[in-house]
Structure 1
Amino acid sequence: MKIALVQDGLMCRAGGEQVALCFHKAFPEAPIYTQCYRPELTFPEFQSCDIRTTWLQSIAKTDDTMKKLFFPLGVWAMQSHDLSEFDLVLMSGTHCAKYVKVRPDALVISYSFTPFRLAWNPESYAQYSKSEGFTRKLFDIVVGKLKAVDFKAAQRPNFFVAMTEETKERLQTAYQIKQDIQIINPPVNTQNFHISDLPKSYYLVVSRLEYYKKVDLVIDAFNQLGYPLVVVGKGLQEDEIKSGANSNVRFMSGLSAKELAEVYANCRAFIFPQHEDYGITPLEANAAGRPVIAYGTGGVLATQIPVTDDPSQATALFFNEQTADKLKEAVKQFETIEHRFDPVFIRSHAESFDESKFIDKIRLFVTSKYAQHRKIEASTIK
């Protein structure tokens, strides 16, 4: 079995890149095909991998630039990857990975985080949701073309793997997938995190600073609360968010894995305000023994245990409306039960999502599907 791995891009340290790294650990001899790769922007473990980029590598120096050039340059770039020599192609991502060239008889498995957001949920982008008139019409034309191109490319994989039940349903609806979709929850590397004996007084956000992440909502709430808040991340909305923050908010970026682990371990609680397809960061906070205050929808429903009667058997406190006022109420409620959360229980829960379990599940799924594929091929030839 000659296998290739495909990832949209390796230009930041986020959940998609963690999945790609686990794919490498499952199949260490397989090369990784991607749009662009900048070793200084993503996880250092990729430096030992066989990574093959496109011609877009010489143009896109940052993750933001790579995303802006996706249509049409990113599509064309990924189409230049010819993987005809490979028997099996395991891809992960939302938009670019599916455009590589493969053999008609190759087995293609797509670990798809969600249907491409810009094509199927453009309202989640500030540039689209705030556009009007001619600009909105132009956006709609581009989005329509993206949807058609994305749908066509999504028909090639033999099998899809989804993160959660919600993303499974989205994939089935958008791409009209008839076969069953396996659910394998994304991993967290619990070994990178530890419990602190004396957490400090600040609350924490770790996120890309983009419109749909709703970090501005957290800033608004904590400006009113006056509590110390640490925000770790960079992104398209960075300048806007920073300009709206009071002096109780501290911004950080470019942290090493060790530094980030310390920030997690010493926070009072982790704030997660967005409707996320999955969300690795709440599990990272859990791996450090810290509870999560989250908007109770999307991926956290699959990864967190919300408070009911006993906080010692919970990992998170949910708020049910995506507003600064509801987040403030949740923070105030958290203060009354904070001492009842159990860091050891929270850490133990995170370990059930550890990357070692994810790697075993992916390896088993891929090898079993390939064995079935070869058996079908052999019977067809006969």
Structure 2
Amino acid sequence: MKIALVQDGLMCRAGGEQVALCFHKAFPDAPVYTQCYQPDLTFPEFRDCDIHTTWLQNIAKTDEMMKRLFFPLGVWAMESHDLTAYDVILMSGTHCAKYVKVRPDALVISYSFTPFRLAWDPESYAQYANAGPLKRMVFDAVLSRLRKVDFDFGQRPDFYVGMTTETAERLRKTYKPLAPIDIINPPVNVANFYVSDQPKDYFLVVSRLEYYKKVDLVIDAFNELGYPLVIVGKGLQADEIKARAKSNVKFLSGLSAQQLADVYAGCRAFIFPQHEDYGITPLEANAAGRPVIAYKAGGVLATQIPVNHNPAQATALYFNNQTVADLIDAVKRYERIEKEFDPAFIRSHAEGFDEAIFIDRIRQFVKAKADEHAKKTSVTAG
């Protein structure tokens, strides 16, 4: 079985890149094909991989620039990857991995985080949501074409793998695959984090600074509360988001793995305000023994244990509406039960999502589908 791995891009340290790194650990001899790769911007372990980039590498030097150039340059760039020599293609991402050239008889498996957000959920982008009538008309014309292209290439995978039942249903509705969609929860590298017996006085957000992540909501709430807040991340809306913060809010970026672990271990609680497809960061907070204050929607419903009557057997406290008032209320509720959470229990919960479990499951899934595919191909050839 000759296998190739495909990832949208390797330009930052986020959940998608963690999944791609686990694919490499599952199949260490397989080459990795991607749009662009900047070693200093992503996980250092990728330096040991056999990575193949596109000509877009010469233009896009940051994750933000790569995203801006995606349509049509990113599409054309990924189409230049010729993977017809491979029997199995294991891809991960949301948008451009599916554009690589493959053999008609190759087995294609897509670990898809969600349908391409820009094409199918443009309202989640500030540039679209805030566009005037004329600009919206141009956006709609481009997005109509993009949806058609994305759907057509979305037929390439023989199997989709989803992160949660919610994201699997989105994939089902968008691409209408014939095969059932299996669910394998994304991993957290628990070994990268530790539990501190002396957390500090700040609350924490780790996120890209983009409006659909709702970091601005957290800033507005903590501007009113006046509590110390640390925000780790960067992104397309960084300048606007930073401009609204008061002096109690501190921004960090470019942290080493050890520095990030320290920041997680020291927080009072982790704030997660967005409706995320999955969300690795709440599990990273759990790996550091820290509880999560989360908006009650999306991936956290699959990864967290909410406070009911016993905080000692919980990992998260939810709030129901993405409003400043609801978040402030959740922080106040958390303060009343803060000392009842059990860091050891929270850490143990995160271990159930460890990357070793993910690697084993993805390896078994690919092997089983490859064996089935080989038998089917053999019967057809015969």
Shift of 1:133: 1.4
Shift of 1:375: 0.4
- 1:249 and 1:156 map into 2 onto residues whose CA distance is 46
Aligned twin of 1:65: 65
- Paired residue secondary structure (2:231): strand
1:141-169 CA distance string (max 9 Å, x none): 01101100000000011100000000000
Identity of matched residues, %:
73
- 1:79 and 1:356 map into 2 onto residues whose CA distance is 32
Unaligned runs of 5+ in 1: none
- 1:26 and 1:219 map into 2 onto residues whose CA distance is 39
- 2:375 and 2:124 map into 1 onto residues whose CA distance is 43
Query: Partner amino acid for 1:324?
Result: V
Aligned twin of 1:261: 261
Aligned twin of 2:174: 174
Aligned-residue RMSD, C-alpha: 0.4
Shift of 1:38: 0.2
Aligned twin of 2:106: 106
- 1:209 and 1:74 map into 2 onto residues whose CA distance is 22
TM-score, scaled relative to structure 1: 1.00
Aligned twin of 1:210: 210
- 1:280 and 1:139 map into 2 onto residues whose CA distance is 31
TM-score, scaled relative to structure 2: 1.00
- 2:321 and 2:167 map into 1 onto residues whose CA distance is 21
- Paired residue secondary structure (1:379): helix
Aligned twin of 2:353: 353
Identify the range of structure 1 (316-325 vs 176-185) with the bigger mean alpha-carbon deviation: 176-185
- Paired residue secondary structure (2:84): coil
Aligned twin of 1:226: 226
- 1:381 and 1:43 map into 2 onto residues whose CA distance is 43
Query: Partner amino acid for 2:356?
Result: S
Aligned twin of 1:320: 320
- 1:54 and 1:381 map into 2 onto residues whose CA distance is 34
Determine whether 1:241 maps to 2:238. Answer: no
Do the aligned residues in 1 keep the contact of 2:158 with 2:179 (CA within 8 Å)? no
* Length, aligned pairs only: 382
Aligned twin of 2:135: 135
Determine whether 1:81 maps to 2:91. Answer: no
1:345-382 CA distance string (max 9 Å, x none): 00000000000000000000000000000000111122
Query: Partner amino acid for 2:142?
Result: V
Aligned twin of 2:279: 279
Give 1:283-322 correspondences, 5 Å limit.
283-322=283-322
Shift of 1:178: 2.7
- 1:150 and 1:216 map into 2 onto residues whose CA distance is 31
- 1:60 and 1:82 map into 2 onto residues whose CA distance is 21
1:32-60 CA distance string (max 9 Å, x none): 00000000000000001000000000000
Query: Partner amino acid for 1:375?
Result: K
- Paired residue secondary structure (1:358): helix
Shift of 1:109: 0.3
Aligned twin of 2:344: 344
- 2:231 and 2:377 map into 1 onto residues whose CA distance is 52
1:71-100 CA distance string (max 9 Å, x none): 000000000000010000000000010000
Identify the range of structure 1 (176-185 vs 257-266) with the bigger mean alpha-carbon deviation: 176-185
- 1:71 and 1:248 map into 2 onto residues whose CA distance is 39
Determine whether 1:197 maps to 2:197. Answer: yes
